[in-house]
Amino acid sequence: MKAFAYTTAKGEPRIGVETPEGKFNFSQIWRYYIEYKSFKQAPDLPFLQLMVELDYFSDETLVEVIETVKGFRPLKDLRLENDFVVQVPVSRPSKIICLGRNYAAHAKEWKSQVPDKPMFFAKLPSSLLPHRGVVEIPAGIGRVDHELELAVVMGRKARRVTEDKAMDYVAGYTIANDVTAREMQIQDIKTGKPWTLSKGMDTFCPMGPCLLPADAVPDPHNLEMELKVNGETRQKANSGDMVFKIPTLISHISRCITLEPGDIICTGTPEGTLPIAAGDVIEATIEGIGTLVNTVQEIPALL
């Protein structure tokens, strides 16, 4: 079962859930559930990230709540039609940590070596962009590329976690597009500067459209991935092609940096990273999660 964050026509935040019967207002379903169960101290859940932070987010919980409420109240009145706007699944992560060269074929296409241990960099939370949002490319910055990635959302505070326990800390999975100002990044590499600007511009981290609970994914290292631009396939791979798997990434990061609930790990991109331009439509798909769709436009040059 998939969950997603959305705002109503009035701009009110809500949690949505996608079932075989359609899409529903889970925030209201949750209210009915806690009233029925007389959980007087249970919190309201208008934000998907809040559900993650409270460690409530799981496929088991979603199913239990929905099935319980269906037993005493029809859900048809809570069905979502078209009067809502999908938002990023987690809108306030304390950090977005990304992997460089975590697919061997991607390293090869850029004539780079596969690192002997995970190579990390960060994107800024302010770069997040929802499904159907517009990637804004400042005029004159040169080549900008798409980078399809499986994103891991943390569900529990993780510090100095061992690999064998790492997956216990994952809330779920979503899709990310690590949009990169490539010419700027290449210049930064040549001069020994960090990639913060080339990776972290506003709108340079599209993410969504939903969050798939970790307990609904039998193997996150066996998911088909594909990115299309204007209907043409650019990237096609399997998440199993990662050099360093998710438990290794969580363990390595948490040795030095505490991961908080809602934090995001972007696990690297496969080969096929190519330029995007104004007018493009980008469709990033990962098996079981769905398709993240974004358009591209040019904005005035940087000052």
Q: Which domain holds residue 240?
A: 96-299
Residue 65 main-chain phi, psi, to 5 deg: -60, -50
Residues 59 and 198 in one domain: no
Residues 150 and 267 in one domain: yes
- β-strands 144-145, 119-123 pairing: unpaired
Residues 248 and 102 in one domain: yes
CA 58, CA 68: separation in Å to the nearest integer?
A: 16
Contact of 206 with 129, CB cutoff 8 Å: yes
Contact of 158 with 250, CB cutoff 8 Å: yes
Write down which residue in 87, 118, 141 finishes a domain: 87
Q: Two tokens at 75?
A: 């859900």
Residues 154 and 203 in one domain: yes
Burial bucket for residue 46 (CB in 10 Å: 0-12, 13-18, 19+): middle
Could you give the number of structural domains in the chain?
Answer: 2
Helix (H) / strand (E) containing 29: helix 26-37
Distinct helix (H) and strand (E) counts, the chain: 7, 18
Residues 181 and 280 in one domain: yes
Residues 40 and 147 in one domain: no
CA 57, CA 214: separation in Å to the nearest integer?
A: 9
Residues 283 and 176 in one domain: yes
What is the CATH classification number for the domain harbouring 161? 3.90.850.10
Residues 67 and 106 in one domain: no
Q: Is the previous residue joined to 209 through a cis bond, with omega within 30 degrees of 0?
A: yes
CA 41, CA 50: separation in Å to the nearest integer?
A: 15
- β-strands 290-299, 281-286 pairing: antiparallel
CA 298, CA 99: separation in Å to the nearest integer?
A: 27
Residues 74 and 127 in one domain: no
Residues 195 and 215 in one domain: yes
Backbone dihedral region of 117: left (phi > 0), alpha (psi from -120 to 50 degrees) or beta?
beta
Contact of 276 with 294, CB cutoff 8 Å: no
pLDDT reported for residue 303? 73
CA 6, CA 211: separation in Å to the nearest integer?
A: 12
Residues 211 and 103 in one domain: yes
Write down which residue in 63, 87, 111 finishes a domain: 87
Write down which residue in 35, 64, 87 finishes a domain: 87
- Give just the sign of the alpha carbon dihedral 248, 164, 254, 58: positive
Residues 71 and 105 in one domain: no
Backbone dihedral region of 275: left (phi > 0), alpha (psi from -120 to 50 degrees) or beta?
beta
Across the chain, which has 303 residues, the per-10-residue mean pLDDT values are 96 96 97 95 96 98 97 94 94 96 92 92 97 98 98 98 98 98 95 95 98 98 98 98 98 98 98 98 98 98 83
Q: Two tokens at 166?
A: 């790492």
Q: What is the CA radius of gyration of the chain?
A: 19
CA 112, CA 20: separation in Å to the nearest integer?
A: 44
CA 215, CA 171: separation in Å to the nearest integer?
A: 8
- Give just the sign of the alpha carbon dihedral 233, 204, 153, 96: positive
Q: How many other C-beta atoms lie within 10 A of the C-beta of residue 118? A: 19
- β-strands 264-266, 148-154 pairing: antiparallel
CA 175, CA 289: separation in Å to the nearest integer?
A: 7
